[in-house]
Amino acid sequence: MTKLNMKISGLLFLFCILFMMTPAFSLKKSYIVYLGAHSHGGSELTAAKMEEATEAHYQFLASFLGSRERSNDAIIKSYNMNINGFVAMLDEAEAEAISKDPKVVSVFLNKGNTKHTTRSWNFLGIEKDNKALAGSIWEKARYGEDTIIGNLDTGVWPESHSFNDHGLGPIPKKWRGSCQNDTKKGVPCNRKLIGAKYFNAGYKAYAKEMNYTVTVENSARDEDGHGTHTLSTAGGGFVPGASVFGYGKGTAKGGSPKARVAAYKVCWDALPDGGECFDADILDAFDNAITDRVDILSLSLGGDPSDYLNDGIAIGSFHAVQAGIVVVCSAGNSGPADSTVSNIAPWILTVGASTMDREFRSLVVLGNNKTLVGQSLSTKKLSPKKYPLISSIRAPAPNSSASDAQICMIGSLDPKKVKGKVVICLRGGNARVEKGAAAELAGAAGMILCNDEFSGNEIIADAHLLPASHINLKDGLEVFKYVYNTENPVAYITPVKTQTNVVPAPFMASFSSKGPNYITPEILKPDITAPGVSVIASYTQAKAPTGIDIDKRRVQFNVESGTSMSCPHISGVVGLLKTLHPDWSPAAIKSAILTTAKTRDNRLKAMLNSSSEQATPFSYGSGQVRPNRAADPGLVYDLNVTDYLNFMCGAGYTPSQLQGIYTKKLYKCPKTYNISSDLNYPSITVPNLYGSATVTREVKNVGSPGTYKALIHAPPGILVTVKPDTLTFKKKGEVKKFEVTLHDELDGTVKGESSPKVARDYVFGKLSWTDGKHYVRSPIVVKAAAN
């Protein structure tokens, strides 16, 4: 070996020794150093304050790295506006040292995250990774550009980023609305949020009648959060970096992200008897919205179904539809009992609620090593150990009942019995987050929320105040079995993790109100279903995400569940269809959404309810919305105001009752009119089939010329024939009529019995028209009458 080679080998040896002596943690990685929030955010933000914040970051890091030069090299990004912190290249030892500084909230690795978004639009097939899928309705309809969506609700939080008007052009010339109290304290409007009005005369009048003392602000500002959540779901713009406590990270957006939006505040603080949104105010808002020239009205509210002419929503929506406005309403949250659906007028598009394929999982690990899957949005975490487990029914407070303790009412739990333990609470009776608050106030370490019989498999993520997990009925029974058969039961609740591509999805939410239609059983309600469980959208800053006074947290986005959340999903889809097909009537748009829906989940199996049983049209109507298919339905079932007036005649209303709602002249009702057979609804419902019945329908071609064949899936025990069974359209706009005959195959007496047969329950089928490309589906719902 030469001297040169010996020197090189020596240097290499020395380098290797030095390299091996270097600690592994010296490898530099990008870390986020989070210091909380700046005091100079919002209106106080100036260029000088931003520079001052950045300089403070460099000086802070220099105190750990030993020189300003090193901190200059290390810092990648300074958050100098609202978020207080920075990103820097650090080794593990440096990151550990910085994390111990009292000014630091946290230090964590700059991890690569998969975009989860608000998820529902991805789940409905419009987008992927925050981008419109090629050929999707988003692309075709230009994201709902310039469609105007009005929302009757609790108002709006105008500072929400969902209502930023960046990149939007002038307000549409047709707009005639305005902003009441257009001030910083009130509701300042812009080119996105183009209208905001409040209506409280009816609310105040009722409160006075009942001797309730109320304080009402004359402003459309949302102090509740419900209106902001629903409006941003329907028409909120793109907001990158949205999450709820870091969960569900991604870009939030509404169904029509480039639509213009207007808030009509009709709901106020709940009165002692529960009243919030009064008909007088709802009608006033309808009247204004029609004058303002909105395209869509979204109402995530309602009450018990009633006579159409004694229902403010039914009346207001009739006049709106008459003006060409599509009215979308929630079905109600009174499920899973039958005949609980509200907003049942045929001119309303009524929406049920189902799940999507995302969960915020938090596992329950029992002392017997059984692991149960639950959901939560709790930000607090238990130390990694097992905690004593106790059923709340065994821990009532001295002055509380066992029944109150079982459902964890506020003040019902004995701190001496639950302190430091994981307490088991039963769902029902009070709000889910209130149960967590009760456990927190009693000093519990955590809570397991178990479904009752009615809730079945539906589990919901909530922003609980303590570590908590919500589990289904089956797993809840497992927990109770364990705790009652174990001398010293223990459990652990894992931190929350976001999980996507969950199966099965969708399935119907247990709370979603169901048919049959209580007022007019010949009209199938709800019409459609959409995501309504654990939906992320914008929220008010006026109250906590739980709505509980002891919760001092504030969030820009919140997770909410209810048909209130599914309704604006459909409103957003309607916004896209209005932009894409401005000449379509409200009924045509409704038909396009209904006849293109699906009834299978992501396993390609029949959609289930929350009890894992097969769901029916009384839960989901025509099925789950498919926005891309709705853009090109092929055929539509159309209706106009005269058709709705004839429906009213068939429902028993007299010409004198109908006079004035459409014309000053006495309305002339048809000599005969059968709601099931004569109203051109996109579904067929015969609630009292005696022998046979013939239903007449007509469809309009809104696509290319072509020939459609009828495909029949007959309800069990019902013979279905269609005449003609082939429809040929030579041009766009052409209308064809057909008849569907339903015959009870068990008509007569039951074999072997001399007495008349007893009434059977409802049975379900469907009729589809197809040209090989389009499938125009209509549910068939039948109940045979007793002889």
Sign of the four-CA dihedral 744, 748, 753, 759: positive
Looking at residue 560, the DSSP 8-state letter turns out to be E
Residues ≥6 apart with Cβ < 8 Å to 16:
none
The per-residue b/e assignment along 612-641, b for 16 or more CB within 10 angstroms, e otherwise, is eeebbbbbbbbbbbbbbbbbbbbbbbbbeb
Q: Which of 447, 436, 386, 384 is nearest to 409 (CA)?
A: 436
Choosing from 40, 57, 153, 462, which is the catalytic residue?
153
Choosing from 219, 298, 391, 564, which is the catalytic residue?
564
The CA-based dihedral angle spanning residues 100, 105, 110, 116, taken in that order and rounded to the nearest 10 degrees: 150
Check if the beta carbon of residue 170 is closer than 8 Å to that of residue 250.
no
Check if the beta carbon of residue 354 is closer than 8 Å to that of residue 562.
no
Check if the beta carbon of residue 590 is closer than 8 Å to that of residue 577.
no
As given in the structure block, the two tokens for residue 76 are 């990648």
Distance of CA 737 to the CA centre of its chain: 37
Check if the beta carbon of residue 765 is closer than 8 Å to that of residue 711.
no
Q: Strands of 557-613 (E only): list them.
A: 557-560
Token look-up 């409905």 returns 124
Instruction: Give kind and range of the element (H or E) at residue 729.
Output: strand 726-729
CA distance 753 to 443: 65
CB burial of residue 340 (10 Å; 0-12, 13-18, 19+): buried
Annotated catalytic residue 311: no
Q: In what order do the strands lie in the sheet with 692-701?
A: 635-636, 692-701, 735-744, 718-723
Annotated catalytic residue 153: yes
Residue 108 CA: distances (Å) to CA of 58, 62, 82, 112, 607: 18, 19, 19, 12, 41
Choosing from 40, 57, 161, 226, which is the catalytic residue?
226
Bridge-partner residues for 261, per DSSP? 149, 193
Phi, psi (deg, nearest 5) at residue 209: -60, -40
**Active site members:** 153, 226, 564
